[in-house]
Structure 1
Amino acid sequence: MPFIPHSDSDVQAMLKTIGVGQIEDLFDEIPDELKQSVLRQVPAGMNEMEVSRLMRGRAAQDGTPLGFVGAGAYQHHIPAAVWAITTRGEYYSAYTPYQAEASQGTLQLIYEYQTMMSRLTGMDVSNASLYDGATSLAEAVLMAIRSVKKGAHRVLVPESVHPAYRQTLKTIVGLQGVEVVELAVPTGRLEADSLDAGALGEFSALVIPQPNFFGVLEDVDALTDWAHAQGALAIGVVNPMSLAVLPAPGSWGSTGADIVCGDGQPLGVPLSSGGPYFGILACKQAYIRQMSGRIVGRTTDLDGKPGFALTLQAREQHIRRAKANSNICTNQGLLVTAATIYMSLLGPEGLRRVAAQSMQNTRALRDRLLKIAGISQRFDQPFFHEVALTLPRPAAEVIETLAAENIVAGFAVGSEYGDQANTLLVCATEVHTSEDIEAFAKALERVLG
């Protein structure tokens, strides 16, 4: 039985006080044609056994297709121990209350996560996660705007940044008067020597994806130094798994990136039909007071015993509305728990092996698909574990056809980049075998005739 604290007499008293006859009157501004009187897709009440059967059937509708799609969310092997530990009662239901120090276990885990993420990114400090990768980019941009003295309310963002990230960024920062200037990437990545500082005008930050949406590796050293030469900050948007084999943002250029963000999904979080995931945010010490979200520190109590506490977490951050550091700052504690356990189990060497195997499998996939007549590599650039290929037919048609064969062929780049209708973005990770690659290649050959 649901917990409803108000009795019928309570409800009637409240309705009388505000001058309406029934609860429905509170929603009279909603047009009748938009109201759903009957929930046709919701079945009648069921017992536990019937609900379990229904949910198993719904889950089975997703099937178990052979997938080669990435585009921001990646299929990695997650050891069984990760979620077996994460879903134990001590972790699964623990959430830091207002008296945060009462949850020492939760705080210690977050502290360990922050330490791991700082080492992975090469930055001085990490927060305790954000909502997702797209909103973490928006938070990073707002941090930069506040941090650059006399900086313009403008940020440079190459078109090689994930389209969903760019859309989210515009939605969030646009309402705060921040202009997002998009930069073309005809070669598949942003070339530092093509940037004209005089023509671009003043800006507070340059966003640098690594790897970018097309899987291509950007020249992060040149771009970071160029941004700093203009008096702006460098914001790295990273796939955390790639940092097991690629230079950490803290080492980019002469002095390193200033702020790092991204999505933590590759670190032990299943795809799960699009979420939930969690956002990464780390920065140099100089910008820590502009960082949104929780930060946990280690200290000692009155008896000299080690303990953990929230630090630099002004309560006003959550109640100052437009003046707050952040009005999102959601801490995805459960997913951070899974990511921390995942990184602990694999360790640095395990992460390197996963990243290296993913790179090797993607190159094997690329080489096999290039043997098919009419297919070529879209960008002649180094890549991580995704690569864009040009097909002789529209990619969306090929994806739809192969879906009938239980194969998710990749991402149709033309759905976001109108001039690339024939571009297919494919991805492989450590979970793919040579048999998987061959099955995909033969199916694609049949489709292309």
Structure 2
Amino acid sequence: MYPYIPNTQEDEKRMLEAIGANSIDDLFSDIPENIRLKRELNLNSSMSETEVSKDMIKLSQENKSINELTCFLGAGAYDHYIPSIVGHIISKSEFYTSYTPYQPEVSQGTLQYVFEYQTLMCNLTGMDVSNASLYDGGTAIAEAAFMASNITRRDQIVISKTVNPQAREVLKTYGHLQGLEIVEIKDEDGVTNLDELRNNVTDKTAAVIVQSPNFFGIIEDLKSIEEIAHSQKKTLFVTSVDPISLGILRAPGSLGADVVVGEGQSLGIPLSFGGPYLGFIAVNKRHMRKLPGRIVGQTLDKDDKRSYVLTLQAREQHIRREKATSNICSNQGINTLAAAVYLTTLGKKGLREVALQATQKAHYAFKEITKSGKYKPLFDKPFFKEFVVTSDVPVDDINKKLIDERILGGYSLERFYPQYKNAILYAVTEKRTKGEIDKLSSVLEGIK
């Protein structure tokens, strides 16, 4: 049986002759000798296709999925119910084989679902314009920062430490290469420290970025933060949100947000061991020409039939690279479609029901876990579907015990917040039952 990569020595010889090289080493002649690896790669010997298949199956069986475990882990990715129609619609060949809609006459399906998605996101966030999505929530925050810097001609970004720490890492990485100064504001009792925020927002600040519900699940005082942000002329107020929370919370657009961003994974997209996910960004009309990516519009064709076109496309494929609003603004097309199908299927009442159930069940879980006093609340603030508790038991020990009971436990805050020792962030979605929550509480109570 042939190796999995079936190039023979004869094949290699013919390819080298075709390009005028004597050996494979000639292909790397531009690499200085002193930095070359002087040994073989530490790889197993070649394997056949059946051997590779067996090996990969064996490796995959070492993973535990949410089909096997009851999930109470969140921190930015959530186990929400996904209606079966979502998978059915996005599996239709006219959608999953679609490509960038440069030619509207042959891309009406793609253009329509992007238009519908943009409309739904505007309705959800209370903003005027949404683009065709971004890579993920972290990238969306970085894009919002770039846009704010571009609009204000300022280089300072003020961001709360209650924003998802992984998103802040993405901002720092991209911001470093863009010459942005990132100022982080500490939290106080789980929310943004308003006094410190007020002292750091100056006439050099391009944007103030907060998240609500924040990384701890707590609802921030967006109105007070908006007033601080807009106390400086031109400074933009950027709000990162969980889109599910907008089923019961006021839209950020109604609270003075200039830009709304977030991660759309909870809108009909499975956990998938980490992605791909969906970043969203929406703005008010006065900033739409600085919005990265594409905007799809609705029009009439020559026969007066409804049709769709790319209306605004300030990205490097369409204009000079140096004039582009961004060079990292590719959208997640199939996930955009999934989000549109999910929101359309649920509607206003359905989304509100999801948000209410998640909130009520999270508060029930919080009450059950903390009622004996073994696990104590870390914060005393209103929360959405996530909450933090502490105990004398290390988080890793707790999560190992939970795995033994087929429960995927919470997130250790100590990873990014060393001041919060033995603090666990639990997430409770509408999928969790009373029995599952009671079992979590019972198992936690028995851990010593």
- Normalising by structure 1, we get a TM-score of 0.90
1:14 matched to which residue of 2? 19
Structure-2 separation of matches of 1:198 and 1:241: 31
1:427 matched to which residue of 2? 427
Letter of the 1:348 counterpart: K
1:389 matched to which residue of 2? 389
Residues 69 and 411, structure 1, Cα contact 8 Å, conserved in 2: yes
Residues 15 and 22, structure 1, Cα contact 8 Å, conserved in 2: no
1:170 matched to which residue of 2? 172
1:88 matched to which residue of 2? 92
SS state at 2:192 partner: coil
Shift of 1:407: 1.6
Q: Kindly tell me: are residues 384 and 24 of structure 1, through their superposed partners in 2, closer, same or farther at Cα, counting changes over 3 Å?
A: same
2:247 matched to which residue of 1? 244
Shift of 1:22: 4.3
Letter of the 1:82 counterpart: V
Residues 293 and 314, structure 2, Cα contact 8 Å, conserved in 1: no
Shift of 1:300: 1.5
1:114 matched to which residue of 2? 118
SS state at 1:337 partner: helix
Which of residues 135, 143, 146 is equivalent to 1:142?
146
2:181 matched to which residue of 1? 179
Residues 385 and 429, structure 1, Cα contact 8 Å, conserved in 2: yes
Structure-2 separation of matches of 1:317 and 1:173: 23
Name structure 1 gaps, 5 residues minimum. none
Letter of the 2:188 counterpart: P
Structure-1 separation of matches of 2:318 and 2:168: 25
1:348 matched to which residue of 2? 348
Shift of 1:320: 4.9
Letter of the 2:273 counterpart: S
Residue 205 (str. 1) matches residue 210 (str. 2): no
Residues 207 and 238, structure 2, Cα contact 8 Å, conserved in 1: yes
Which of residues 230, 235, 239 is equivalent to 2:238?
235
The farther-off stretch of 385-394 and 213-222 is: 385-394
Shift of 1:13: 3.9
Q: Kindly tell me: are residues 21 and 273 of structure 1, through their superposed partners in 2, closer, same or farther at Cα, counting changes over 3 Å?
A: closer
Shift of 1:209: 0.6
Residue 304 (str. 1) matches residue 319 (str. 2): no
Residues 191 and 219, structure 1, Cα contact 8 Å, conserved in 2: no
Shift of 1:295: 1.1
Structure-2 separation of matches of 1:378 and 1:130: 34
Which of residues 101, 105, 108 is equivalent to 2:109?
105
Letter of the 2:378 counterpart: R
Name structure 2 gaps, 5 residues minimum. none
Structure-2 separation of matches of 1:294 and 1:335: 16
Shift of 1:400: 2.9
Equivalent residues in 2 for 1:14-53 (5 A)?
Answer: 14-16=19-21, 22-23=26-27, 31-32=36-37, 36=41, 38-39=43-44, 43-46=47-50, 51=53
1:129 matched to which residue of 2? 133
Residues 111 and 309, structure 2, Cα contact 8 Å, conserved in 1: yes
Letter of the 2:41 counterpart: Q
Q: Kindly tell me: are residues 411 and 350 of structure 1, through their superposed partners in 2, closer, same or farther at Cα, counting changes over 3 Å?
A: same
Q: Kindly tell me: are residues 320 and 170 of structure 1, through their superposed partners in 2, closer, same or farther at Cα, counting changes over 3 Å?
A: farther
Structure-2 separation of matches of 1:422 and 1:89: 48
2:313 matched to which residue of 1? 313
Residues 316 and 323, structure 2, Cα contact 8 Å, conserved in 1: no
- Normalising by structure 2, we get a TM-score of 0.90
Shift of 1:195: 3.5
* CA distances 1:300-344 after superposition (whole Å, capped 9, x unpaired): 222222211112114546775565311211210001111111111
Q: Kindly tell me: are residues 370 and 156 of structure 1, through their superposed partners in 2, closer, same or farther at Cα, counting changes over 3 Å?
A: same
Letter of the 1:313 counterpart: Q
1:224 matched to which residue of 2? 226
Structure-2 separation of matches of 1:83 and 1:265: 14
The farther-off stretch of 57-66 and 388-397 is: 57-66
Shift of 1:201: 6.1
Structure-2 separation of matches of 1:211 and 1:352: 16
What is the RMSD computed on CA atoms of the aligned residues?
2.8
* CA distances 1:180-208 after superposition (whole Å, capped 9, x unpaired): 10001122111435533478663111002
The farther-off stretch of 403-412 and 420-429 is: 403-412
Shift of 1:143: 0.5
Structure-2 separation of matches of 1:198 and 1:80: 48
Equivalent residues in 2 for 1:332-371 (5 A)?
Answer: 332-371=332-371
SS state at 1:204 partner: strand
Q: Kindly tell me: are residues 34 and 200 of structure 1, through their superposed partners in 2, closer, same or farther at Cα, counting changes over 3 Å?
A: farther
SS state at 2:191 partner: coil
The farther-off stretch of 157-166 and 290-299 is: 290-299
Letter of the 1:111 counterpart: F
SS state at 1:296 partner: strand
SS state at 1:272 partner: coil
Letter of the 2:239 counterpart: G
Structure-2 separation of matches of 1:394 and 1:33: 44
Letter of the 2:342 counterpart: Y
Shift of 1:84: 1.4
2:70 matched to which residue of 1? 66
Structure-2 separation of matches of 1:130 and 1:118: 15
Structure-2 separation of matches of 1:306 and 1:175: 43
Structure-2 separation of matches of 1:328 and 1:282: 16
Structure-1 separation of matches of 2:174 and 2:324: 14
Identity of aligned residues (%): 39
1:155 matched to which residue of 2? 157
SS state at 2:178 partner: coil
Letter of the 1:76 counterpart: H
The farther-off stretch of 323-332 and 202-211 is: 323-332
Residues 314 and 324, structure 2, Cα contact 8 Å, conserved in 1: no
